[in-house]
Amino acid sequence: MARQRRLSVRPDEFGLEQDICDVTLWLIEMHSLTHVHVWVDRHYTQIGREIAGVTVMTSPTHPEGLTEAAHEAFLALGYTIEDTRADTYGHQFCDGHHSKHEAIQAYARIEGALRRWRSL
């Protein structure tokens, strides 16, 4: 409930937080992972749906293509990804405390966005 309120009041700030969680949950479902961090970098001048980069970290192994898959998911969600090599800061990753219902919603949301994006 608190997350929905934050999203409705400040979508530019908390929308990215939700998108990071949704992409994280999608990756976990797609690749049968137990734990993964999606790290999003942003330049200090970037706002809204602008980010500098995406990195996926897992432990102890790093399955091939996770960062590329996350990158593609953010593009499908309408983000512009541009690294100008200026200073960046990292956005917090998903806390991982989500219900199975939230994971299913996230999976459906990302899969739908990817289908629409790939059909363009």
The rounded distance, in Å, linking the Cα atoms of 32 and 66 is 12
Number of structural domains, the chain? 1
Tell me if 46 sits within 8 A of 23, measured CB to CB.
no
pLDDT of residue 4: 55
Per-residue pLDDT of 47-91, as tens digits, reads 999 999 999 988 776 667 899 999 999 999 999 999 999 999 999
pLDDT at 46 over 80: yes
Domain with 86, as residue range(s), is 2-118
Per-residue pLDDT of 9-44, as tens digits, reads 555 556 999 999 999 999 999 988 888 999 999 999
pLDDT at 6 over 70: no
pTM of the model: 0.86
Q: What is the gyration radius of the CA atoms in the chain, in angstroms?
A: 14
| Residue for token pair 């994971």 | 103
